[in-house]
Chain A
């Protein structure tokens, strides 16, 4: 049988319900007797709490309960949460209490909960709670957090340092000693929030009969949350069930634990009622993790031709007020630093610091977009300093095709050496440049400048470590009806898991894709999973889907051969029917459904000898190493030098995520990812004042990319199979986002080259571009 599903742009199995308004998100689910919660949140960035008066709130008709931390009862007043990812590098692992104890450390921190008949009433009651705050000095800017006179972000801290993360290999001193040139560059990177269109939502439903709590949750990691809850509550995991219904986007911030789900689980048990909490958008701006700021001070050593010898520097990384997510974000900002380049030596130290701002955790790409931007900034700096074509500087430094597998010298957070499995970075760049019209761009640019129009083109190249382990569980089971049940632990937030894993299973098993019934992300029914994060699901659940389907196929063929009295090798499976091949000369068949029926007999039946019941298999097969996707992007912009406005004219991305299961879905991932990166480059900025009071708390002030501002996107593919799994697949979820910022920023710099403008910091807005133009003019006037 030829490839029917794998590699083809099958329309999504998921779509119809969403198109008809029949998706079921957490807020669409109701239970009899359900109550509604609303959280009172800190409205001051740092303060001591001298008292909380909830008496007036309790008097409002329709209010069932009001909780402060003390009201939750023992042991919670003395039991802060724990970090999801502990690390010996964490010097101060400060995690918050479920509700504030005696201090609030960021605007948005949970202080109290009202549970009422309706959300409206719960909010009525919130405004009647009086908190006696004693304001304390706050740290708003990570760049000042380690200053000698910086305020303590938490009462009693001697230092605001959370911990350090290091990226070191090679002989950095020799690199700088031998270099013909060295350049320094400083840049500030800001990445805002995930801004999934659905906020974080929860229903906790305690069943007293079973002594079991079911939590409907918008999480990317149901099994992680179940484990963290079980540990925190000192319960058996079987007593907690986490279910992800349809989830309206993840993008990282939905991957970790939050106080709210713990509080709701406690409260549902105490009240013996289902309790729903729906995060509203104003809360989302302060209560859901963001990615925050990084300040980079870098130095690079290179030869005359732009060949890089080494890079060193220091990064200050804003952690926010607590560390719910450990050091994963700093880690992913440093270890991927070499990018697609053969970098002989690196020495970077990252200082992760507390501020009095919303907690941080990965947003699409985690620290990788930051690291890619840092490396690409260095490339731009070298090209500018040596007056070289930035494309040539990249070519000169890329890991060559013949160097795979390539060991960078660096180390992954797991402690394993970083090894690039496969790719062809040179051809990817060439492909992108050719389609962007790079060769004759200089002519177009010159002609436009004659008319007073400033066009610019920028390049950005990256790698993406995808598919980190350990596994995602997949179960495939043929039902007596002939339908094939496909279960995965991996939660979907819109990626199209159902379609791609159905494609794999349908292909491997030989069934029609429409005969597959998909279930996922319910810790009560599906095999163990890890998380939908870091572009890891396809490279884990993909191989597991294939392996599980293959085991089922083997079992089916073995049983069919016995039933049909034919050699297994003379059988094939097509559209769910096991039949004799044409070459066998026989004309017999049996359906997979009938085989399933034979393996699941009832009282008067018998399981065939030599077989276990059920036509099913579970697999945790995953990639054997880290598949590295790669890409080169080229952006074209036009800058209005009077207003500073940037128009995105064109964007080409050449991308390699190995074998593509469904090219249409890959394009969707990439383009969506690029747009997120464009947001980071030009639009999205979470503004805080000097007291760490957030200013951007609505979508009129926090600007997300919209349709009219986006350029046409052209996505080109190169398919270099990963040797780490039989499918040859790599992750594709973040490869669009990772390189985007530098492509845009470099394009702006290229457009403004006649003025000598260097942007460096992002996001950059029209006002800043005008300021840079004015500064450049002042410099040239002074010169």
Chain B
């Protein structure tokens, strides 16, 4: 289990990177390495070129730009977890980060790496989807913007050409008082989720005014439970309402593999949708 041969590149600027990308073929990008390194060690992937993004200036950091929270793609998961800005403006992300791997992997793992790897059960793509993130990607042709909803093209395939990298994740947090929740079911602490659900909910006078629900792990890519989101508006924040939303989640298509059936994923999508909505409602209506 030793990596095959590759040529290593460690550009220090975006310009240097884009220059490189224009000239190289068969490239893998090394961000935090918590998914790529195992694949290199196992020779599941044997690229000719490995481009290390860790030395590039300006790819990491968290900043508030107007109403938007701008997160550099190479920002470590541990940094996000400890960030005061994230705690204040995007607590649902912080709640989800708690479930990402283990503290040792969060020191290396990055938000951008997670979004580009796009494991269907990963927490951060789900949160980005929940929060309507806008992504900035950069390549030899310059920058372009991609809405998170347009990011997953297929199973573990982001909307990114081979010569582009993800640069920035911009999220405009919900204003006003609202509740949020994130829960997932995994076999053991730190394992990939079987299913994870995140939601945000605004409630006024006992009735729901705004709702967002994102589900990961159930299908090939994370998705928003748009039908239920629309149906929740104007409904009372009650068990029956949430049960109906859960039932919508259960009806969605789900994937199956050697370990987990589609039926079990649907069951969990239902249960977690119900539970996270209830928890979010409690936060939304609590003190």
A-B contact count (CB 8 A): 55
Number of interface residues of A (CB under 8 A): 28
A120 touches B2 (CB 8 A): yes
Give the interface segment out of A520-528, A558-566, A740-748, A763-771.
A763-771
Q: A703-B188, A767-B261 are in contact. Are A643 and B271 (CB under 8 A)?
A: yes
Given A280-B1, A770-B264, do A709 and B189 touch, yes or no (CB 8 Å)? yes
Which residue of the partner chain A has the closest CB to B189?
A708
Q: Which listed residue, B1, B260, B264, touches A282 by the CB 8 Å rule?
A: B1
Smallest CB gap from A645: residue in B: B185
Distance between B116 CB and nearest chain A CB, rounded to angstroms: 19
- Report chain A residues within 8 Å CB of B38: 698
- List the A side residues contacting B258 at CB < 8 Å: 687, 689, 695
Pair A683/B188 contact, Cβ less than 8 Å: yes
B9 within 8 A of A: no
Q: How many residues of B contact A (CB 8 A)?
A: 23
Contact, CB under 8 Å: A706 / B188: yes
B4 at interface by CB-CB < 8 Å: yes
**Chain A 232-244, CB within 8 Å of chain B: the 1/0 string?**
0000000000000
Q: Which residues of A contact B190 (CB under 8 A)?
A: 706, 708
Contact indicator B268/A765 (Cβ below 8 Å): no
Output the residue of B4, B188, B190 with the most chain A CB within 10 A. B188
Which partner residue on chain A sits nearest B246 by CB separation? A642
How long is the Cα–Cα vector from A770 to B266 in the complex, in angstroms? 12
The interface residues of chain B lying within 8 Å CB-to-CB of A770 are 264, 267
Q: Is the CB of B271 within 8 A of A123?
A: no
Given A643-B268, A689-B258 in contact, is the A765-B43 Cβ separation under 8 Å? no
**CB of A555 within 8 Å of the partner chain:** no
**Does B16 belong to the interface (CB within 8 Å)?**
no
Which residues of B are found within 8 Å of A703, using beta-carbon distances?
A: 187-188, 191
Q: How far is the CA of A281 from the CA of B185 in the complex (A)?
A: 27
* Shortest beta-carbon distance from B153 to chain A in Å: 24
Chain A residues in 8 Å Cβ range of B271 = 642-643
B25 smallest CB distance to A (angstroms): 20
Chain A contacts of B191 at CB under 8 A? 700, 703
**A767 adjacent to B1 (CB under 8 Å):** no
Q: Note all chain A residues with C-beta closer than 8 A to B5.
A: 124
On chain A, the residues within 8 Å of B261 by CB distance are: 767
Residue A127 at the chain B interface, CB threshold 8 Å: yes
Q: Mark B33-54, 1 if CB is under 8 A from A, else 0.
A: 0000010001100000000000
> Do residues B42 and A282 form an inter-chain contact, with CB atoms below 8 A?
yes
Given the complex of chains A and B, what is the CA–CA distance between A280 and B259 in angstroms? 24
Contact with B along A748-767 (1 / 0, CB 8 A): 00000000000000000111
Q: What is the minimal beta-carbon distance from A765 to any residue of chain B, in angstroms?
A: 7
Which A residues are CB-close (under 8 A) to B223? Answer: none
With A124-B5, A695-B258 in contact, is A708–B188 under 8 Å at CB?
A: yes
25 contacts between A and B (CB under 8 A): A120-B2, A123-B4, A124-B5, A127-B4, A127-B43, A282-B42, A642-B267, A642-B271, A643-B267, A643-B268, A643-B271, A683-B187, A687-B258, A687-B259, A689-B258, A698-B42, A700-B192, A703-B188, A703-B191, A706-B189, A706-B190, A708-B188, A708-B189, A767-B261, A770-B264
Closest 5 CB pairs of A and B: A708-B189, A280-B1, A767-B264, A120-B2, A642-B271
Query: Hey, which bits of chain A sit against chain B, CB under 8 A?
Result: 119-120, 123-124, 127, 280-282, 642-645, 683, 687, 689, 695, 698, 700-701, 703, 706, 708-709, 765-767, 770-771
Identify 4 new A-B residue pairs, CB closer than 8 A, beyond the known A282-B42, A703-B188.
Answer: A282-B1, A687-B258, A708-B189, A709-B188
